[in-house]
Amino acid sequence: MKHEHFRWVVVALLFFITAINYIDRAAISYAIDDIASDFDLTNEQVGLVLGAFGMGYWFTTFLGGIAVDRYGARTILTIAAVAWSLSMGLMGIVSGFFMLYTLRVLLGLGEGPNFPALTRSVADWLPPKERAVALSNALVAVPIALAVGGPIVSELLFYFSWKLTFVLMSGAVVLWIPVWWILFRDKPEQSRFVSPEELKVITSSEDDEEKKHPDNEQEDMSPRQVWRFLLLNRTLLANNWAFFVFGYYLFFFMTWMPRYLHQEYDMDLQQIGWFSILPWLLAALFLWGTGYLSDYIFRKTNRLRLARSYPIWISQVLTACSVIPILVFSDIHIRMVGISLAVGFSMSANSTYYATNVDMAKSRAGTSLGIMDTLFALSGFLAPVVTGWVVSLTGHFHYAFVLLVALSLTSVVVVLLFHQPDRDQKIGA
C-alpha cells in the first residue's frame, strides 16, 4: 500500500529510537547515588562513570557516519540498536567500578551511529524546505525522553533495584528493531510504501534548490577534496564548535542536575524525577518551535544565514543569560527557573545544527554529522568529568556554571563571524 506522506512515518521511527536512545543514556544519572553507594565511588569516579559513555560515543559516531554513508542507515542503525540493548541488559550483572565503566563505554559505542543515521535519513527522505521541521520532529525526542524518562526511571528505581531497572529498560529497543527493518529503506524510491506523487515532492524540491544555488554546488570532488571540505569548511567548523557547546550544556544538565539538586537542596529521587519534567518539556517546545521558525524563514527569504545561523547564536545568548541568575541568587525557585530556561534555550536550535550539515553536505550528510557528533561526544566526556573535578576541588557547583556561560560566549562569537552557509561552498546531491 502506497502513501503520500510516508516520509513522516520515517520521521516518527527516528523519533522513537532517539527517545529510547536518550532514556537509556540518561538513566544512570538517576541511579548514580545508589551505584556510588554500592561501590563506594568518589565524586571523581562518579564523573568518570558519567563521562565513560562519551568515550565510546566519540569512536562510533565518527565511524558510524562514514558507515551510514557507505552501507545505509537501515543496516547500521539496526546493528547499533542491538549493541546498545545488550550493553544495557548487561548492567544487571555489573560487579564493580571497572565493569561499570566498561559497560558505559560499550553503551556509547552502540549509540554512536544513531544521529548520523538520523541525519542521512532526513537528507534522503525530506526535501530542503521540510528538513528543519523534520529534524525538529525527530530531535524533539531528546527533551521529551529526558522529561518523561526522569519520572519513569525514578519510579522504576523506587520499586526495583537499579540493576533490574537497567535490564527492564533494555527491552524497549528490541521492540523497535523489527518495525524499523520492515518499514524503512535507505532511499524513498526503494520503498513500496512511497507513492509516485510523494517521490516527486521529495525529488522535485531538491532539484529546485540546486537550480537556485548553482554556483556553490560541488558534486564532482575527489575523496581528498571531500575530506578537505568536511574538515576545513568554515561554516561547518563554526557549526561544529557551537554544537560542542550545546553538547556540553546537555551533558552537564543530563548527568549532574539530579546530583546537584540532591546535594544543594536535599531533594529525594522522586522529587528530582518529577522536577526534571519542566526544563525538558520547555526544551521540547523551544526546539520544535525553532525548527518550524527556521524553515519558515528559509521559505520566505531563501537565506540560510537567517534561517540557520541566527537561531544558533541567539539561542546561545539566551542560554548564557539564563545561567547568570543561578550564579547570582541562591533561592531555589529562581535557580529552578534559570535551569529550566537554560535547558530550554540551549536545546532550541538543535535541529538547525543538523539542518546545516544537510544544507552544506547533503551527499555526505552522515559523515559530516559524524564529524560534528565527534565533538558532541567529546563534550559528553568532558562535561561530566570536568564538573566532577570542579565540584571535588571547590565543594560546590558555582564555577561549573561559570564555565557554561564562558562557553556560550565563545559560541556566539564564532557563529557570528564564521557561520556563513549562503556564501560557502557546498557538496550537492
How much is the pLDDT for 10? 95
Residue 162 reports pLDDT greater than 60: yes
Whether the predicted pLDDT of 171 surpasses 50: yes
> Which region among 53-62, 216-225, 297-306 has the lowest average model confidence (pLDDT)?
216-225
Whole-number pLDDT of residue 77: 95
Q: What is the pLDDT of residues 177-214, one digit of tens each?
A: 999 999 999 999 999 999 999 898 888 755 455 455 44
What does the pLDDT read at residue 135? 84
| Structure confidence at residue 295 as a pLDDT band (50, 70, 90) | confident
> Is the residue at 225 inside a domain?
yes
Inform me whether the pLDDT recorded for 160 exceeds 50: yes
How confident is residue 362, by pLDDT bands cut at 50, 70 and 90?
confident
Task: Please tell me the predicted confidence (pLDDT) of residue 215.
Answer: 43
Q: What is the SS3 string spanning the chain?
A: CCECCHHHHHHHHHHHHHHHHHHHHHHHHHHHHHHHHHHCCCHHHHHHHHHHHHHHHHHHHHHHHHHHHHHCHHHHHHHHHHHHHHHHHHHHHCCCHHHHHHHHHHHHHHHCCHHHHHHHHHHHHCCHHHHHHHHHHHHCHHHHHHHHHHHHHHHHHHHCCHHHHHHHHCHHHHHHHHHHHHHCCCCHHHCCCECHHHHHHHHHHHHHHHHHCCCCEECCCCHHHHHHHHHHCHHHHHHHHHHHHHHHHHHHHHHHHHHHHHHHHCCCHHHHHHHCHHHHHHHHHHHHHHHHHHHHHHHHHCCHHHHHHHHHHHHHHHHHHHHHHHHHCCCHHHHHHHHHHHHHHHHHCHHHHHHHHHHHEHHHHHHHHHHHHHHHHHHHHHHHHHHHHHHHHHCCCHHHHHHHHHHHHHHHHHHHHHCCCCCCCEECC
Does residue 175 lie within any of the structural domains?
A: yes
Query: Number of structural domains, the chain?
Result: 1
According to the model, what pLDDT value does residue 42 have?
84
Mean pLDDT of the chain: 87
The mean pLDDT of 100-119, rounded to a whole number, is 91
Judge whether 113 lies within some domain.
yes
For position 1, what pLDDT does the model report? 58
CATH number, domain containing residue 69: 1.20.1250.20
Query: Domain span at residue 359?
Result: 6-427
Of 57-61, 196-200, 245-249, the range with the lowest mean pLDDT is 57-61
The per-residue pLDDT for 205 is: 55
What pLDDT does residue 3 have?
A: 64
Kindly state whether residue 74 falls inside one of the protein's structural domains: yes
pLDDT on residue 312:
96
Give the mean model confidence (pLDDT) for residues 206-234.
68
> In which band, very low, low, confident or very high, does the pLDDT at 377 lie, cut at 50, 70 and 90?
confident
Q: What is the pLDDT of residue 214?
A: 47
Stronger pLDDT, 332 or 408, i.e. the higher one? 408
pLDDT number for residue 206: 53
pLDDT for residue 111 is more than 50: yes
Task: pLDDT band for 344, please (50, 70, 90 cuts).
Answer: very high
1 inside domain = no
371 assigned to some structural domain: yes
Among the ranges 13-17, 269-273, 355-359, which has the highest mean pLDDT value?
13-17
115 domain residue, yes or no: yes
Within-domain flag for 311: yes
Share of the chain above pLDDT 90, in %: 45
Confidence band of 328 (pLDDT split at 50, 70, 90)? very high
